[in-house]
Structure 1
């Protein structure tokens, strides 16, 4: 029986020969055939017969006592911004629809080494810009909780596929909430690790003081499933000078009841009225926090008043992001600037105007504010704030133009709530907080100190054991 089992349990049963990888692959392909036409989450799908043949080979290797990995025999699809040899990496862009990489990315290598079977790609926002998964090559991805709404982005294909049961778990990437936002929109856990924990072949930044804004991450129904994924892909690699190892495994790390009760959380809320939120978001987050504050948990949670979150932070963010984006777009082959999607064109047009001097000034600004962040973590174990500023919106809208009566000045201003973790390279887990009156999901960021990834995930495990959000599945799916 596969339905209802945790991914860890399925993996264990494959390796103990109680389950066949072939049967697991067929189970997920049946889900894909049933649901993907409504969600458009998985693209570039491999031939089912070919994948089943690979699964049978893995079953035979187990019989022959072949070494197995953490994800042995599990079918996975990779975000369509990450290289898989033999499959196109299109970025959702027409110009790259025939872009077949010569080799696997590091994360793909590691997933395969742990026994995963790569069956396809998950849909992305075009060139991964924006938190709405839509592009001109494959179209939009839809939310399993309401198929007229967006699944978020840019890793929306991954989130919709996991939430609907078409994939056991998924990778993603996150610069400005591209893992955290779709996880929140699909009632999932999404982890943005400290940059460097998941190695990648990256272009070295022109300024060594510049933070690594973007990182690979993961999306799953539970923190335990995320731990399985992270133990499969995390760790140092000589091809990534920023990569590092942790001193323990995610699967082996937990938080005792006594440790949990001693946790102190700083609630950032609307950041001293600096951020606008759609009605109901703050209330859902605070409802979850109130439960944690009450018996029998009695966690210490208090509202944070700080000078960290001025408009200066937003100016720093858009300057550095646009300059990095401009440099990235310049390096892209076969891209006509006139054909760029609107979000990428906006970043390019902003970035071309930014001088090296201004760029350095903004990096200096990050360093000034870093001491404020460090002071907060002297007082709190975690910071908490909503994962998005609006609920899932209509899938035919490129991005929200307003929050209530407050007009938004850019295509990504509604995701401003995610930039603190990104600017200061903080490990962050988006946890579900429930649904509004229309049945639309929302999430909350649990932000930890840099390189304290294990502690963040340990908290997430306790959180899920209390709330059991993974049990609330979308109607008509799963």
Structure 2
């Protein structure tokens, strides 16, 4: 059995304790491996675990400390990598039978930097096939479940990473976010997820380095841990032409307090149908920021469903262009929903896709005007509590009685304005004891400002002390 106090310690605390020699890296990693073994049968959040290698690296980490060698800020801390992200010499399946035997030759920048900071990769986490969905199940790896309720999804596509962090397997896990794939699991699992500004962390794992909706981001239990992940992984690299040319100048501890900040609040972005329980939790969280001195203005953005549908069109084309080559040999083995998306992508015409840039420009102009008077925009992360574990997104999406869109998430529209960082943080628990989440959308490149607001809400809500109820 694992030591739960150690399992739920933050990455920042574990790193400090390892450096201070009050606990060894080997003890921490061994405990993480025990926790994975304890819960993975129920959750199915890891598809690969590396016990022998992780323990050997932990022993080497302890040896370096004993000899007084310089160490990084994540020295000895166990982390997980999403199975969408290549790892040198280790199988990376992207949840697909088409890639079930793929062993990449190189690590991407983000894995290099995590290892360089001293983190120890203990395993890889499950994802839906080619990370296409906001739920996590695949024909290759089966169904991944939510540690708050095994009958619910942990979200997707970084659902394995979200469940692993929430269940105390690792304090930090990597995810990718093209339409909410970090923020949706954060919402479903009651943890922190960050979509940084476009290019903040180099994105070098796609066939194109000119893609403009894709991000790496952390899943963590605390805002400080999310900030630590960003601190060690951000910065320019020539492998990604879109990587931002400079590092964040002042990346000290996350600043506390929101007194005097002007925050805009949209409860539905103008067109989403929000579950009443989710809306109630969201409004309470926004009220907590008001109580701490933030000046909150409820606003109307004037947005419509056309933005949601535009992202869906882009996503179909993305999947067709980047993974559609596998249809010829593996169509019958692939998820039918994914196949439908790819076929739709191949059917789109180029002019209609290019015209989406006009919609995105109009969207940005409305946000630009908002940010002239407000420091950030607040809205729910998900419109609903975590859906049933067997559900497909198409099962959930539709119109409510008022003709408003019912969807798993409110995240995709913010990938259309990708330079704006977005944090998803717990806003509270519904009456059924399920997590709800708030998105904090910042001015372009203001990752630090977003983390500041998230930190204030963390102090108000107290989610680092939460423990999921379906795993003990």
TM category, shorter: over 0.9
8 Å contact 1:382–1:446 — kept in the other structure? yes
The answer to whether the aligner puts 1:246 opposite 2:265 as a matched pair is no
The answer to whether the aligner puts 1:324 opposite 2:318 as a matched pair is yes
Q: Which residue is 1:104 aligned to?
A: 107
> 1:288-299 counterparts in 2 under 5 A?
288-294=285-291, 297-299=292-294
Residues of 2 paired with 1:62 and 1:377: CA distance?
47
Would the alpha carbon gap of residues 314 and 51 (structure 1) be closer, same or farther in structure 2, given more than 3 Å must change?
closer
The answer to whether the aligner puts 1:429 opposite 2:423 as a matched pair is yes
8 Å contact 1:227–1:251 — kept in the other structure? no
8 Å contact 1:187–1:469 — kept in the other structure? yes
8 Å contact 1:231–1:251 — kept in the other structure? no
* Segment drifting more, 147-156 vs 318-327: 318-327
Deviation at 1:398, TM superposition (A): 2.2
8 Å contact 1:187–1:470 — kept in the other structure? no
Q: Which residue is 1:269 aligned to?
A: 267
Residues of 2 paired with 1:34 and 1:252: CA distance?
34
For 2:157, what is the secondary structure of its paired residue? coil
Q: Map Cα deviations across residues 320-340 of structure 1 (whole Å, 9 max, x no partner).
A: 222222211235597523433
Deviation at 1:376, TM superposition (A): 0.9
Aligned residues: 465
Residues of 2 paired with 1:128 and 1:55: CA distance?
30
Q: Map Cα deviations across residues 159-218 of structure 1 (whole Å, 9 max, x no partner).
A: 111111011111101111111111011110100111111112155769x7xx71121111
TM-score when normalising by structure 1: 0.92
For 1:217, what is the secondary structure of its paired residue? strand
Q: Which residue is 1:214 aligned to?
A: 214
Residues of 1 paired with 2:312 and 2:136: CA distance?
21
For 2:193, what is the secondary structure of its paired residue? strand
The answer to whether the aligner puts 1:27 opposite 2:21 as a matched pair is no
Structure 2 residue corresponding to 1:281, chosen from 270, 278, 296: 278
Structure 2 residue corresponding to 1:366, chosen from 357, 360, 370: 360
8 Å contact 2:83–2:127 — kept in the other structure? yes
Residues of 1 paired with 2:276 and 2:59: CA distance?
51
> 1:377-416 counterparts in 2 under 5 A?
377-399=371-393, 401-402=395-396, 406=400, 414-415=407-408
Residues of 1 paired with 2:151 and 2:8: CA distance?
27
Would the alpha carbon gap of residues 466 and 108 (structure 1) be closer, same or farther in structure 2, given more than 3 Å must change?
same
Residues of 2 paired with 1:220 and 1:32: CA distance?
16
For 2:427, what is the secondary structure of its paired residue? strand
Would the alpha carbon gap of residues 334 and 226 (structure 1) be closer, same or farther in structure 2, given more than 3 Å must change?
farther
* Segment drifting more, 61-70 vs 314-323: 314-323
Structure 2 residue corresponding to 1:113, chosen from 96, 111, 116: 116
Residues of 2 paired with 1:422 and 1:107: CA distance?
20
Structure 2 unaligned regions, length at least 5: none
Q: Which residue is 1:304 aligned to?
A: 299
Would the alpha carbon gap of residues 321 and 111 (structure 1) be closer, same or farther in structure 2, given more than 3 Å must change?
same
8 Å contact 2:223–2:454 — kept in the other structure? yes
8 Å contact 1:228–1:251 — kept in the other structure? no
The answer to whether the aligner puts 1:231 opposite 2:226 as a matched pair is no
Deviation at 1:351, TM superposition (A): 1.2
8 Å contact 2:206–2:322 — kept in the other structure? no
Deviation at 1:222, TM superposition (A): 0.6
8 Å contact 1:165–1:477 — kept in the other structure? no
8 Å contact 1:383–1:447 — kept in the other structure? yes
Would the alpha carbon gap of residues 251 and 171 (structure 1) be closer, same or farther in structure 2, given more than 3 Å must change?
farther
Residues of 2 paired with 1:419 and 1:413: CA distance?
14
Deviation at 1:253, TM superposition (A): 3.9
Residues of 2 paired with 1:333 and 1:343: CA distance?
13
* Segment drifting more, 397-406 vs 123-132: 397-406
Q: Which residue is 1:454 aligned to?
A: 448
* Segment drifting more, 350-359 vs 189-198: 350-359
Would the alpha carbon gap of residues 405 and 200 (structure 1) be closer, same or farther in structure 2, given more than 3 Å must change?
closer
Structure 1 unaligned regions, length at least 5: none
Structure 1 residue corresponding to 2:14, chosen from 10, 15, 19: 10
CA RMSD of aligned residues (A): 2.3
Residues of 2 paired with 1:24 and 1:433: CA distance?
30
For 2:217, what is the secondary structure of its paired residue? strand
Deviation at 1:397, TM superposition (A): 2.0
8 Å contact 1:202–1:240 — kept in the other structure? no
8 Å contact 1:44–1:87 — kept in the other structure? no
Deviation at 1:3, TM superposition (A): 5.2
8 Å contact 1:263–1:300 — kept in the other structure? yes
8 Å contact 1:231–1:249 — kept in the other structure? no
Residues of 1 paired with 2:252 and 2:147: CA distance?
28
8 Å contact 1:278–1:403 — kept in the other structure? no
For 1:78, what is the secondary structure of its paired residue? strand
